[in-house]
Amino acid sequence: MAHFSECRDGYAQKVLDTADIVRDGDVSTVIPWNYNSAVVRRAKAEPLLRSFKGFGTLRERGSDANWFPVEFLTYHDDRNKLRSFAYVRREDGVDIPDGHYVFQDELGERSFRWRKWKGKWQFGWRYRGD
pLDDT band at 108 (very low <50, low <70, confident <90, very high): confident
pTM: 0.55
**Maximum average pLDDT range among 47-51, 108-112, 116-120:** 116-120
pLDDT band at 57 (very low <50, low <70, confident <90, very high): very high
- 112, part of any domain: yes
Range of the domain at 20: 1-33
Give the pLDDT confidence of 28-49 residue by residue, as tens digits: 555 556 666 666 666 666 668 8
- 42, part of any domain: no
- 130, part of any domain: no
Number of compact structural domains in the chain: 2
- How high is the pLDDT of residue 101? 92
- 113 and 78 in a common domain: yes
- 117 and 56 in a common domain: yes
- How high is the pLDDT of residue 68? 93
Going by DSSP bridges, is the β-strand pair 50-60/68-76 parallel, antiparallel, or unpaired? antiparallel
- 127, part of any domain: no
- 64 and 112 in a common domain: yes
Least confident residue range of 45-49, 53-57, 107-111 = 45-49
- 90 and 28 in a common domain: no
- 81 and 24 in a common domain: no
Q: In what order do the strands lie in the sheet with 68-76?
A: 82-90, 68-76, 50-60, 99-105, 111-117, 120-122
